[in-house]
Amino acid sequence: MKFVHAADLHIDSPLRGLTRYQGAPEARIRGATREALTRLVDLCIEEQAELLLLAGDLFDGNWRDYSTGLFFASQMSRLRAAGVAVVSLRGNHDAASQLTRHLRLPDNVVEFGSEAPATRVYDELGVAVHGQSFGRRGVTEDLAAGYPRALPGLFNIGLLHTALSGRPGHEPYAPTTLSTLLSKGYQYWALGHVHAREVVHEQPHVIFSGNLQGRHVREPGAKGATLVQLEDGALVRVEHRVLDVVRWSVCEVSVAGSETPEDAVDCVRRALEHEVEAAEGRLLCARVRLTGRAVAHAAFQRASERWLAEVRAVANDFGGDVWVEKVVFETEPDLEAERPRTGGGALSDLLAGIARARANPDELAELAAGLADIQRALPAELAELDGLPDLSEPSFVASLLSDVEQQLLSRLLSHEVER
Footprint on this chain of Mn ion (rule: CB under 5 A): 57, 91-92, 193
**At 87, which helix (H) or strand (E)?**
strand 85-88
Give yes or no for a cis peptide into 389 (omega within 30° of 0).
no
Closest separation in Å from C-beta 340 to Mn ion: 57
Q: Which residues pair with 254 in a beta bridge?
A: 291
Pick between residue 200 and residue 347 the one whose CB is nearest to Mn ion: 200
Contact 207, 190 (CB under 8 A): yes
Please tell me the distance from the alpha carbon of residue 209 to that of residue 204, in angstroms, as a whole number.
15
Instruction: Kindly give, in sequence order, each residue whose CB lies less than 8 Å from that of residue 243, ignoring residues fewer than 6 positions away.
Output: 36, 39, 40, 43, 212, 213, 223, 224, 225
Nearest approach in angstroms of CB 196 to Mn ion is 12
Least distance in Å: CB of 92 to Mn ion? 5
Least gap, CB of 91 to Mn ion (angstroms): 4
The least CB distance from residue 54 to Mn ion, in Å, is 12
> 199: part of which helix (H) or strand (E)?
strand 198-201
Query: Which residues on neighbouring strands pair with residue 251, listed in sequence order?
Result: 288
Q: Is residue 164 within 8 Å of residue 92, measured between CB atoms?
A: no
Instruction: For residue 227, give the nearest of 215, 216, 235 by alpha carbon.
Output: 235
Is the CB of 210 or the CB of 261 nearer to Mn ion? 210
Amino acid identity for residue 243 in this structure: L
Edge-to-edge strands of the sheet including 155-161?
A: 118-122, 127-131, 155-161, 188-192, 205-208, 198-201
